[in-house]
Structure 1
Amino acid sequence: MNYFKKGFTLIELLIVIALLGALAVGLLAALDPFEQLKKGTDTGVRNTAGEFQGASIRYYAIKNYMPWCSDAQTCTDPSSTALADLETTAIADIVTTGELKTDFVELAGGQLENIYVTGTNDPPTVAVCYKPTSKSFASNPNTKYAISGTLATGCPTGDPADDCYYCIK
């Protein structure tokens, strides 16, 4: 009797599984999942900072003074102030004018602590900055500022540990 076995041997299956495992480990190392999470966080913070900056400019167009001022003459300009510290004043006023959604603070979550605002009423300027946590955002050409929105020497470095900030002006 002649028996023909069809299929793979146990050794062949183990070799294929080992090769697939090695490829998966290599792919995982190449993608760096923690860096991907940091990039996602940086994208969210950048969007929140951009929304506040745009809303501040639109607020000025409506009121003829910046949102951190109580009127055109009474103003305390923020200097590297955390956006969370402007929640009860500037953000509330912008929401009242309809330039930000009423749930802006809830949607931003803990991001407001990591976003810094520097601005003046006369002339009307606003710089909204944050410190990137991902390597790709830290090496972005727009990550060239100090926390106050002024140009910083030696930035961008590509190292999230350095004091280089991404600013929207």
Structure 2
Amino acid sequence: MNRTTKGFTLIELLIVIVILGILAVAILSAINPLEQIRKANDSGRKSDAAELLNAVERYYTTFQKYPWATTTEADSPGTGGQLPPAASWLTELVTKNEVKPEFKTRKNLTAATDALNGLTVSENATTNLVYVCFAPESTSFKSLATKNAVAAVGTTHVCIPE
């Protein structure tokens, strides 16, 4: 009986599957999806930091004082440029329409601590320059942090303005 069927043999199919598997592993290791997620989170923090800094500067331009100067907690930064808890003066920014109310519930700003869940705001007591910094998660942003000398906590943070 003469059988002539067209198609791939089992060995040929296995070879193709192995090659596709090797290519998939190579592509995933090159892309590194976890690093991409960390980079996206850091980009979001950088955007939030810039937005917060712009809101603080707009507030200062309008009222000739920073929003933390209006809180009952302190009239000026404490030692090392530390500010009163962010919850008090962030509400002031929302009240004066410098940021939308939704800004307070952002992923990077939901904590009720001074660190704003990743963002740290500090003021240089000598120059009165305000910095908004964050500790990066991604490798590419960490390399930026080592070049940044104005961070409030050494050079492990990325700060706005740079």
The answer to whether the superposition gives a TM-score over 0.5 is: yes
* Shift, 1:119, TM fit: 1.5
Question: Is 1:115 aligned to 2:119, yes or no?
Answer: yes
Looking at structure 2, the residues matched to 31 and 86 of structure 1 have their Cα atoms a distance apart, in angstroms, of: 37
Report the equivalent of 2:67.
Answer: 67
Structure 1: unaligned runs, 5 residues or longer: 153-162
Give the total of aligned pairs: 153
1:114-153, aligned counterparts within 5 Å? 114-119=118-123, 124-140=128-144, 143-145=147-149, 147-148=151-152
Contact 1:143 1:167 in 2 (8 A): no
What is the identity, as a one-letter code, of the residue corresponding to 2:158?
Answer: Y
The ranges of structure 1 where at least 4 consecutive aligned residues each deviate by more than 6 angstroms after the TM superposition are: none
CA offsets, 1:7-28, max 9 Å, x none?
A: 1111101100010001001111
Is the CA contact (8 Å cut-off) linking 2:145 and 2:156 kept in structure 1? no
Structure 1 residue 54: deviation in Å?
Answer: 0.5
Q: Deviations for 1:119-161, whole angstroms, at most 9, x for unmatched residues? A: 1588542111111111001112785135427xx5xxxxxxxxx
For 1:82 and 1:37, the matched residues in 2 are separated by 31
Question: For residues 43 and 123 of structure 1, what CA distance do their matches in structure 2 show?
Answer: 27
Question: Matched residues in 2 for 1:6 and 1:69: separation?
Answer: 82
Q: Tell me if structure 2 keeps the 8 A contact 1:115–1:130.
A: yes
Distance in 2, Cα, partners of 1:135 & 1:15: 36
Aligned to 2:157: 165
Separation (CA, whole Å) in 2 of partners of 1:113 and 1:23: 39
**What's the CA shift for 1:113?**
2.4
Q: 1:164 to 1:146 in 2, by over 3 A?
A: farther
CA–CA separation in structure 2 for the residues paired with 1:146 and 1:94: 24
SS at match of 1:8: coil
SS at match of 2:76: coil
Assess if the C-alpha contact under 8 Å between 2:123 and 2:130 holds in 1.
yes
Give the match for residue 104 of structure 1: 103
Specify every segment of 5 or more residues in structure 2 that has no aligned partner in the other structure, as ranges.
none
Q: Which residue of 2 aligns with 1:37?
A: 37
Percent of residue pairs identical: 34
Q: Please say which of residues 29-38 and 57-66 is displaced more in the overlay.
A: 29-38
**Distance in structure 2 (CA, Å) of the matches to 1:133 and 1:105:** 22
Deviation of 1:37 (Å): 1.4
TM-score (structure 1 length as normaliser): 0.78
Question: Considering only aligned residues, what root-mean-square deviation do their CA atoms show, in Å?
Answer: 2.7
* Alpha carbons 1:53, 1:126 under 8 Å: kept: yes
